[in-house]
Amino acid sequence: MSLIKPKLSPEVADTLASGGPVVALESTIITHGMPFPANLETAFGVEQVIRDNGAVPATIAVVDGELRVGLEPDELEALAKAQGVVKASGRDLAVAMVRGQSAGTTVSATMLMADLAGIDIFATGGVGGVHRGAEQTFDISADLTELGRTKTAVVCAGVKSILDIAKTLEYLETQRVPVIAYGTEEFPAFFTRQSGFKADHRLDTPEEIARAMYLHHQLGTGTGLLIANPIPQAAALTHEFIDGTIADAVKEADERGIGRKELTPFLLARINELSGGESLKANIQLVRNNAALAARMAVAYAPLKAGR
Ligand code: PSU
Ligand code: MN
């Protein structure tokens, strides 16, 4: 079976060819996850954090129907400003290509494209999961099934309580996806360092995580890994501050009948409004923190992959 190779930027292509460390970044966070101009500032800032930690960033998106890995600054800016861009999960990529559309890629689509490009590690803020009320709506993010079939390691800050965290962890267990918390026993809840649930595993260094990735793939498991990195203490929100706001936003979405792919972007925007911008500030800091860990993992993983 011949697979499509996305178009790589020259820098990403050169780095991959020489076995150097590359970290993939998603673009739905830019197109649907944060308002302009914070989305663009964050996108540039996160790329710089990856460079500062010794790796090359590869922001992934669909631009005018072309699958792209590594965007130029003007392309990133156009994506951040564009109105009405598609939110593409893995299943939406082929149609976006046929129609010549531009699209922000979700965790699912970004994992798929990273894998096609030969990139093993991907940093984001939060992954999608099992939504609250999923027993009625069946709303389970394609991010979770992608983790069950694509080998990319995804560094996130856990999942926020717009989701049913217990069911999300159950689903990842069913999908055979190891959930590794970095430096903590607890599975973090995005804005907060605690969720009330334990992660399956704890590892304390990027080198150990890289070795676990390597062995996981050597075992032929065929699945991704989810690395949960708690938000830095100084940037974390408290449960008292954010939990009620999240519950209000979830209730409002339910009352207004918002579902399917609109649900997550609506909740993120509404929580930002209701929190007076505090959730966005925390979101920016945790993405940067994840990018730093992912870059350090990539630096440790490159020699293992090359057999050095
Ligand atoms: N959570 C966030 N910010 C985001 C997303 C999730 O805090 O930007 C985005 C990611 O791209 C994720 C997607 O893959 O939402 C999940 O969407 P859904 O729940 O519709 O599967
Ligand atoms: Mn959904």
For the chain, what are the domain ranges? Answer: 7-301
- Decide: 164 in ligand 1 pocket, CB within 6 A: no
DSSP state of 33: I
Distance CA 268, CA 65 (A): 27
Q: How far is the CA of 124 from the centre of ligand 2 (A)?
A: 18
CA angle at 127 for the pair 123 and 128, rounded to the nearest 5°: 155
CB 295 within 8 A of CB 207: no
The CATH number assigned to the domain with range 7-301 reads 3.40.1790.10
Q: How far is the CA of 136 from the centre of ligand 2 (A)?
A: 13
Q: How far is the CA of 139 from the centre of ligand 2 (A)?
A: 5
**Which of 25, 27, 29 maximizes ligand 1 atoms within 8 Å of its Cβ, making it the mutation to test the pocket?**
29
CB 265 within 8 A of CB 98: no
CA 64 to chain centre: 22
Q: Which atom of ligand 1 is nearest to the CA of 283?
A: 7
> How many Cα atoms within 13 Å fall on the side-chain side of residue 100?
0
Torsion angle of alpha carbons 114, 116, 120, 126, nearest 10°?
30
Q: Which atom of ligand 1 is nearest to the CA of 29?
A: 8
Residue 134 one-letter amino acid: A
**Which of 264, 266, 284, 289 maximizes ligand 1 atoms within 8 Å of its Cβ, making it the mutation to test the pocket?**
264
Q: How far is the CA of 12 from the centre of ligand 2 (A)?
A: 31
Q: How far is the CA of 57 from the centre of ligand 1 (A)?
A: 20
Query: Could you read off the pLDDT tens digit of each residue along the chain, which spans 308 residues?
Result: 679 999 999 999 999 999 999 999 999 999 999 999 999 999 999 999 999 999 999 999 999 999 999 999 999 999 999 998 999 999 999 999 999 999 999 999 999 999 999 999 999 999 999 999 999 999 999 999 999 999 999 999 999 989 999 999 999 999 999 999 999 999 999 999 999 999 999 999 999 999 999 999 999 999 999 999 999 999 999 999 999 999 999 999 999 999 999 999 999 999 999 999 999 999 999 999 999 999 999 999 999 999 98
| 24, two tokens | 């993939």
Distance CA 183, CA 193 (A): 11
| 13, two tokens | 């292509």
Residue nearest to atom 2 of ligand 1 (CA): 126
Closest CA relative to residue 289, chosen from 179, 206, 220: 206
CA distances 243 to 107, 126, 129, 136, 229, Å, are 24, 16, 18, 22, 20
**Which of 79, 112, 124, 281 maximizes ligand 1 atoms within 8 Å of its Cβ, making it the mutation to test the pocket?**
124
CB 53 within 8 A of CB 295: yes
| Residues 6 or more apart whose Cβ sits within 8 Å of residue 17 | none
Q: What is the pTM of this model?
A: 0.98
Residue nearest to atom 17 of ligand 1 (CA): 128
- Decide: 143 in ligand 1 pocket, CB within 6 A: yes
Distance CA 25, CA 7 (A): 15
Supply the residues annotated as catalytic. Answer: 26, 160
- Decide: 29 in ligand 1 pocket, CB within 6 A: yes
Burial class (CB in 10 A: 0-12, 13-18, 19+), 133: middle
Give, for 173, the enclosing helix (H) or strand (E): helix 165-174
Distance CA 154, CA 182 (A): 12
Cβ count within 10 A of residue 223: 19
pLDDT for 162: 94
Q: How far is the CA of 303 from the centre of ligand 1 (A)?
A: 31
pLDDT for 308: 81
Distance CA 285, CA 183 (A): 18
| 203, two tokens | 């590892």
Question: Which ligand number lies closest to the CA of residue 142?
Answer: 1
| 94, two tokens | 């082929």
- Decide: 168 in ligand 1 pocket, CB within 6 A: no
Torsion angle of alpha carbons 268, 109, 185, 198, nearest 10°?
70
